[in-house]
Structures are given as C-alpha cells and as structure tokens.
Chains A and B, each alone.
Chain A
C-alpha cells in the first residue's frame, strides 16, 4: 500500500447488502431494448440469407453483396466475377457474411451491447451479474475479439462494394427510391466503419508524437469525431442495412411495384 491506515478492529468486509442492486430507476430498460433490437437483426439476417430474391435490376440487396457465386444472376455479379465454381450451391450471401458479421461481433460498441443485454455481464451499471466466475477477454474464445482490426479491413472492402452498388444504381435509375435508400445505407455503413476504434488507432492513435505526423493527426482528429458517434452509427447503419435489404427484396418479389420504386 502507498498509504497505511490503521488496522481496523472490525472484520474487513464489504457492506453486507443482500440485494442485487439498490437502483430505483428503470435500469433494465436499456438492456431489454438492446436485446430486442439485436435479436430482430439476427432473425432478419437469418431469413434474408436464405431468401433468394436478392436482386432486381439495378438493385442488389446489401446482405447478398458482393454476389460471388455462379448462382448469382449475371447482372448481380460483382464486376461480373464468379470466382467460386459450380460446386458452391449454398446462398451467395453466406460467402461474404463473415466479414460484416465479424466486424460487428468484434466491434467495441457491439461487444458492450451484447455483453450487457445477452450475457448480463453486467446488465447495467451497479447491478450484479449472475455469473459466478468472470475472466473477461483474457482467454479463449473471447481473446479472439482482439482481431477486430482485420475485420475492419474487410469491412472497408464491404463498405466500398456497397458504395459501388449504390452508385451503379444511381447511374441506372437515378430517380428510383431504392437508389436513394441504397445511397443512404452506403453512407451510414461507411461512416460506421470509419468510426471504428481500430481505425482511430491505425490513423494515429498508436503514435505518441502527433506533432511529427500532421496529416495522420488530422485524420485521427476526424476519425475521433466520428468515433464519438460510434454507437448511434452502429444502430443507424444496422437499421439502414436491414431496411435497404428488405426494400430490395420486396421490389424483387414484386410486392412493391410503383414506378419509382
């Protein structure tokens, strides 16, 4: 100890409060909403991956882009490529799902949200968690969270592809509602991706002398401002990708048919 205080005659133990928390506010609301929001996304994602109506000229549903399987319609193929052979018969979305999913699963914000709402570790501040033991991210499997930056690199590619899709739509159908939905979605996805903590670290966070790297420092300043909005961007881009994806599928299925769809 840096300081010494007297030996207490009483037993040194915590206040023997038997309740889990003394909070009187609705502390359970935030984790409950998060749980509902994330669950909805999971359920939708599961359905969307196996749904085949992911393409309608000139829109491609974000969950299935880039489309790299031979089962992809000609126009849906990313740059016309189909690097996987005929042997691949599963839905094309599964091929690339890992990148955005991995990015979000290892994202510092999503980690907070699902550790709190799914694993209750802790459910809210100053509310006891139900687990007997806790080792955090010190060992397998959670130590894998540390690879977040590689998913970030992958997510940059996905962000670029979605932007490319949106621009393609803009070229072919500038007046389409779908085009603009895809554009907004691409913008939110890119903003969310760039606001990542790993990105902030890579730009200049790892340096100790900003003054010697003025350009990187400016990039860091910009990313830091975005980073402060990482949580709202995470939610906004999650909903926008869901909405955009669902919209394209509805158009593809012929449910939405108005002229500027």
Chain B
C-alpha cells in the first residue's frame, strides 16, 4: 500500500532557512507527523519537531501543512493526492527556533497578563455549588488544548507584528470570556478585555474558529459574547445614561 511522497519541509535555525525537498515512504493510515518521524529516523535525524501525545489531545505538533495551520498528528496522508507535493512549514506568527519548532513564549506571556480566577473570599473549597447549565459555556472553552493555532492564524498579529503588545489573541480573549462567564468569578474583566487585551482588534473574521482542532466555537461563543459584554459596559448609550442617572 505504501508509496513515495514528495515533501517540502522548512529547515533552518532562527528565521533563516529554506524549503528542502524529500522523497519519503508513506504507508496506509499514516498522518503527516508519522512521515516527519520517518524523515527523522531515516534521512534527517536532527529535523526538529514538537510532539507529544499523537492523538490530538496535547496540542504540541502545530505546524502549517500546505499553508494551513494543522496538527501534524491529525492530518491524514489520505487527504492528499499521491502525486501532490506536501509543504510543511513552522507556524508563521512566532519566531522559529529550528525547523518546525517555534518559540511560542508570546502565548505564555499573554496567559500571565490575564488576572486569574478570582472566587469570592467567603467560599471555602468543597462549598462550591454550581449548576451544569451555568458551567457549560466555560467548559467549552476549557476544552482548549493550547495548540496556539488560533493565535497563529489570527491576522491581527500574523500580519502585524506590532500588534502583539496590544492583543492577547483569540486563545486568551477566550480565557477572559471563560472567566467572565464563570459563576463564581468576581473580578471585573470587561474594561481590561477591551483596553488591555485588545478585544477591539478582533474583526470576527473567524479564522480562529476555522482552525481550532477541538472545534470550539471561539468567535460565536467567546469573542462575540465578550464583545457584547463590553458593549454593555462601554458603548451602550442607554446603559450609560441609566448609570449616570442612577448614580445621581
């Protein structure tokens, strides 16, 4: 069942590098990551690639396959023509360390800038009582495996490096939404979402949702609801007027 596939893989340290051509054996049922591993074992032992679980659960093997952000372990070779040349490159938005491995520290830095879960001071562990319907929305966002492909594909930073300081990316705007919808979170996150984490940069073009391997509806269920919550706070003239009058 095997055949020889043509692969073009990005090789290089730092950002400098080039696409290198390989011809490599492919067997039935394999995924792109298997082929990368075969390259490692037979032709390029120092070819760098991140991976862990091989089952789409850890989000390590994010790469771009024929230009599309994908998990290497979840991209079956049978989705390509045998004659097709498959191009594999590292994620574009982050600096390259080597070959397919990127420096994703941007994401960890953003994670740290978002205030953590803030429960009320008087609820002790074991006393939490939450209804299933109240936790379901946030649970969807907690399915996130942090492959960072949404942050990679988002044009706000993919095409505009300078926006990185002001924009947390879909992954972490979704984290804000997760906490804002948490039945026990008491922190106020709406102003910060807009002013510090760049929710306003999002123009809801939905590429984050398109690439999400967990099929989380990032845009419809997290970003837009969060935008609406921000509108409640900042842009709704009636609410604004109401607050003015109420305060007086």
Contacts and interface: CB of A to CB of B under 8 A. Distances in A.
Does chain A touch chain B in the assembled complex, meaning CB atoms less than 8 Å apart?
yes
B134 A115 contact: no
A209 B156 contact: no
A128 interface: yes
A206 B15 CA distance: 44
A133 interface: yes
Interface string B146-184: 000000010110111001000000000000000011110
B143 to A, nearest CB: 17
Contact of B89 (A22, A24, A129, A138): A22
B229 A14 contact: no
B226 to A, nearest CB: 10
Interface stretch (A53-61, A141-149, A169-177, A240-248): A141-149
Interface residues of A, number: 57
A3 B96 CA distance: 17
B217 to A, nearest CB: 8
Contact of B205 (A15, A121, A128, A149): A121
Interface secondary structure of A, over-half rule: loop
Contact of B159 (A5, A11, A129, A137): A129
A12 B89 contact: no
B16 interface: yes
A15 B11 CA distance: 9
Contact of B96 (A1, A13, A146): A13
A111 B225 CA distance: 15
B191 to A, nearest CB: 14
26 contacts: A1-B105, A5-B105, A10-B16, A11-B14, A12-B95, A15-B10, A15-B15, A15-B17, A22-B64, A23-B68, A126-B67, A134-B201, A135-B201, A137-B200, A138-B200, A142-B203, A143-B200, A146-B231, A149-B228, A197-B225, A200-B225, A208-B180, A210-B131, A210-B133, A210-B134, A230-B220
